[in-house]
Amino acid sequence: MSALPVLVPVTLIVAALVAGMAGPASQRVAAVVARLGAAGGLALSLLGLMRVLDQGPVTHDLGGWPPPIGIEYVLDPLAAYMTVVITAIGLLVLAFPTRAGFDAAPPARMPLYPLTLVLLAGLSGVVLAGDLFNLFVFLEIYAISTYALVSLGGDRATFAAFRYLIFGTLGSTLYLLGVGFLYFETGTLNMADVAQRLAAIPESSAVLAGLALIVIGLSLKMALFPLHVWMPEAHTFAPPSVAALLAAVQVKAAAYALVRILLSVAPPELVGDGLTATATLAWFGAAGIVFGSVMAIAQRDVKRLLAYSTVAQLGFIGLGIGLANQQGVTGALLHVANHAVMKSCLFLIAGSLLAHTGLRDIPSLAGLGRRMPLTTFAFCLAAASMVGVPPTAGFFSKLYLLLGSIEAGNWVFVVVIAASSLLTAGYFVVMLEQVLTREPVHEAVRTAADPGPAYLAPVMVLAVGVVVLGLGNLSIVDGILAPATSALLAP
């Protein structure tokens, strides 16, 4: 037993407390504390990843009580991979000027830094939790901090946050009811113990109902089509740095929980390649890809376009989970990281545009490419990855999803994945045509220039990251995701 599995969330919570105490006196001190806390979390995440790849999974029994009675935290390759994604994106978003791109002047002493750290702690707790109820607790920790973060964006954001609160609470309630059904049948909450006992229980209506409630609840939190209705408004009106976190990592924690419960807790006879539970998830994912892409084409607001494109990208993850085969699940998990990098890059660019021009309507950005060349270059790289242009990261996760669809013999999914690249290219090409070829129509564009390093550095790191992840995808897949997926799909 080692304390390593709990060090990341504990570090982030301690940093949140210190940043919260410093914030009223000095936002600069709070910013420094937040960035140091996120950097510490990333360092511990990388240490944990190296440890589990070298020595295997690490567990921690809270308070010394062994499972299934006590609370267990588990750091395996998949959990370590997710904590690295969460803390890396969190650090880069915190490095970006967090007061940029608000619709109205933000409050002078807003608790953005401590709330962001609590969000990151909750997300890391979700991926490290070894029992179903503790996972629920961390789901609520990150959800509550997210409601508050979204509301910081102004009046419209407050309404969006309230709407998100309603749907988030519904998702949490459904999940908890589902856990109650499983506990009624098994008498335990530890995931490994639940999996063993469910395998010995004949087909049970309580188990089926519990799993159905859990899947619906987590799909709500993941914003998987058609349960995505809270997300476009929340992403559109939240501060850009908050929207970047929501799209990049917040919804991915629920996706991780869905993978973990469906593929390692649920009985094998209920889930798997072609079986009802996972096949339904795959079809909803495919529908989400088409719906999100078509809706994105119709948008004029940059952030709303990015929000609907997130609906489509989450569809890829849902489709991959639903395929429940080696290639499909690998593609879904790879897309978790790839989408986190490219979408956070795009939302931070949107924040930079708002901060320096005050513009978010796509036609009003005409001619901006020549005034902000570095920002436009970063946007082009991230957009190319969203489309799936090789050798960017997005190409490889879509390739694995295509291979998984072919392995499953589902040619409809193959067509959907291929068509989605054309639809994605459609809305990004329209935007880039305005930015690169048109003459400026707005005075703010005529006087615009690339922002300073505080804005540009995180964006460029993320833009370069989409290429680095693409070129290094084999190392990620062979070293981390293939073993993790094999363990998930093992009978």
Residues in the chain: 491
87: nearest Cα among 335, 317, 253: 253
Total count of domains within the chain: 1
How far is 273 from 9, CA to CA, in rounded Å?
34
Tokens read off for 422: 């054309």
| Residue recorded with tokens 């909803």 | 284
Give the model's pLDDT for residue 108.
56
How far is 113 from 38, CA to CA, in rounded Å?
10
One pLDDT digit (tens) per residue for the chain, 491 residues? 577 888 899 999 999 888 888 766 677 888 888 899 999 999 999 998 999 888 888 887 776 667 767 788 888 899 999 999 999 999 999 988 876 545 545 555 668 888 899 999 999 999 998 889 889 999 999 999 989 888 887 778 788 888 889 998 999 999 999 999 988 888 888 888 888 888 777 677 888 888 889 999 999 998 888 888 888 888 888 888 888 888 888 888 999 999 888 888 887 766 654 456 677 888 899 999 999 999 988 888 888 899 999 999 999 999 998 888 889 899 999 999 999 999 999 999 888 888 777 777 777 777 777 888 888 889 899 999 999 888 888 899 999 999 999 988 888 999 999 998 899 988 888 888 877 777 766 677 677 677 788 888 899 999 999 999 999 888 888 888 888 888 887 76
Tokens read off for 320: 């991959």
Q: Tell me the CA distances in angstroms from 454 to 324, 325, 457, one per residue in order.
A: 42, 43, 6
Cα angle 190, 193, 198; round to 5: 115
Range of the structural domain that residue 222 is part of: 4-489
For the entire predicted model, the pTM comes to: 0.91
462: nearest Cα among 88, 166, 198, 141: 88
235: Cβ–Cβ under 8 A, 6 or more apart, which residues?
243, 246, 247, 303, 304, 306, 307, 310, 347
DSSP assignment, residue 389?
-
